Amino acid sequence: MTESLILSPPTLDCTGLTTREINQQLKKLAAAGADTVDLLNPQGRHNLAVAIEAPLKVRIRGPVGYYCGGLSEGVDIEVDGPCGWSVGENLMAGRILVKGNASACAAASAHGGTVCILGSAGPRAGISLKGGTLIVQGNVGHSSAFMMQAGTFIICGDAGHSLGDSLYDGTIYVGGEIASLGADAQLAPMTDEDNALLEQQLSPYGLATQDYAFKKIVCAKQLYHFKAQDFSKFKDAY
- Contacts with another protein by CB under 8 A lie at 19-20, 23-24, 46-47, 50-51, 53, 65-67, 70-73, 85-86, 89-90, 92, 105, 108-109, 111, 124, 127-128, 130-131, 146-147, 149-150, 166, 168-169, 223-231, 234, 238
Residue 63 sits at the vertex; the CA angle it makes with 61 and 65, to the nearest 5 degrees, is: 130
Residue 204, Cβ neighbours under 10 Å: how many? 12
- Round to the nearest angstrom and report the end-to-end CA distance of the chain: 52
Alpha-helix residue ranges (DSSP H) falling in 102-223: 192-202
Question: Shortest approach of another protein to residue 232 CB, angstroms?
Answer: 12
Query: Smallest gap, in angstroms, from Cβ of residue 64 to another protein?
Result: 12
Q: Are strands 215-219 and 185-188 parallel, antiparallel or unpaired?
A: antiparallel
Output 72 or 209, the one with its CB closest to another protein: 72
Distance CA 200, CA 211 (A): 15
| CA gap 173, 190 in Å, rounded | 9
Phi then psi dihedrals of residue 21, to 5 deg: -65, -40
Query: Which residue, 147 or 207, is less far from another protein as judged by CB?
Result: 147
**Among residues 105 and 135, whose Cβ is nearest to another protein?**
105
Please say which residue, 103 or 209, places its beta carbon nearer to another protein.
103
- Counting other chains too, the contacts that 193-202 makes at CB distance below 8 Å and 24 or more residues apart are 197/152, 198/154, 198/173, 201/114, 201/133, 201/135, 201/152, 201/154, 202/135, 202/154, 202/156
Report, in Å, the least distance between residue 93 CB and another protein.
10
Q: How far is the CB of 90 from another protein (least distance, A)?
A: 6
Residue number with CB closer to another protein (66 or 214): 66
Q: What are the beta bridge partners of residue 11?
A: 38
Q: Closer CB to another protein, residue 35 or residue 169?
A: 169
To the nearest whole angstrom, how small is the minimum distance from the Cβ of residue 234 to another protein?
Answer: 6
